[in-house]
Amino acid sequence: MDEVNVRIDVNGVNREEKIEPRTLLVHFLRENLGLTGTHIGCDTSNCGACTVLLDGKAVKSCTVLAVQANGRKVLTIEGLGKGGLHPIQKAFLEKQALQCGYCTPGMIMSAYWLLSENPSPDEEQVKRGISGNLCRCTGYRSIIEAIMLASKEMSAGRTHGRDGR
Ligand code: FES
Ligand code: FES
């Protein structure tokens, strides 16, 4: 199959690669760029382990072709934690919101999108925000608590000029 050129801003860096047109964004990130923080948990677009932000909006990267991201911006878990742990990552640690960790990058990217859209969600809104992300380990309680905690920390950071990225 003829390869095509794509140029995608990934975590603030322009990445240009030749790929087969059928390459999924998740494979582009993991295999072409070595960004293995984005996980693959299913092949049915159900689990959310592959969630990244495309132009600021959460998408399941197993449902997007890399060519569809051409000329656009992608944020992955590696980019989120680039300047040190993000407040959402810190809250996940504090609330022990992970066990095997397989769902965690996708869960955190969905939480990040949720908090970008709605900085002070209530519990129901948090549940809806992560409804596309499956976790087999935690029972979700600690994840919800972590996102609520991150929302408080990020709001306080904004008020006090701390890092509320
Ligand atoms: S790997 Fe994308 S939703 Fe499961
Ligand atoms: S921590 Fe294991 S799947 Fe969520």
Q: pLDDT digit string (tens) for 93-104?
A: 999 999 999 999
Residue-averaged pLDDT of the chain: 95
Contact at 8 Å (CB) between 103 and 49? yes
* Mean pLDDT of all residues in 117-126: 98
Ligand that comes closest to the CA of residue 137? 2
User: Nearest C-alpha to atom 3 of ligand 1 is from which residue?
Assistant: 45
Residue spans per domain, the chain: 4-79, 87-160
Percent of the chain with pLDDT over 70: 96
Does residue 158 have a pLDDT over 80?
Answer: no
164: confidence class by pLDDT, cuts 50, 70, 90: low
Residue of 40, 50, 98 to mutate, ligand 2, most atoms within 8 A of C-beta: 98
Which residues have any ligand 2 atom within 6 Å of their CB? 98-104, 135-138
Question: What are the residues whose beta carbons fall under 8 Å from the beta carbon of 29, sequence distance 6 or more?
Answer: 10, 35, 38, 52, 61, 74, 76
pLDDT of residue 33: 98
CATH 1.10.150.120 fits 87-160, yes or no: yes
58 lines ligand 1 (CB under 6 A): no
Reported confidence tier of residue 161, pLDDT bands at 50, 70, 90: low
Query: Which pLDDT belongs to residue 69?
Result: 98
- Tell me the percentage of the chain whose pLDDT exceeds 90: 90
Q: Could you say which architecture CATH assigns to the domain 4-79?
A: Roll (3.10)
Q: What confidence score (pLDDT) does residue 162 get?
A: 61
Average pLDDT over residues 69-89: 96
Ligand 2 pocket: which of 136, 141, 143 to mutate (most atoms <8 Å of CB)? Answer: 136
pLDDT value for 118: 97
Q: Six-digit token pair at 116?
A: 């970008």
* Residue 32, both tokens: 């072409």
pLDDT band at 81 (very low <50, low <70, confident <90, very high): confident
- Ligand 1 centre to CA of 27 (Å) is 11
pLDDT band at 1 (very low <50, low <70, confident <90, very high): confident
Ligand 1 pocket residue status of 40, Cβ below 6 Å: yes
Nearest CA to ligand 2 atom 2: 100
Q: Give the span between the Cα atoms of 49 and 9, in whole angstroms.
A: 21
Two structure tokens written together for 127 = 């549940």
Q: Which ligand is nearest to the CA of 38?
A: 1
Q: Is the pLDDT of residue 40 over 90?
A: yes
48 Cβ inside 6 Å of ligand 1:
yes
Q: Residue 83 — very low, low, confident or very high, per pLDDT cuts 50/70/90? A: confident
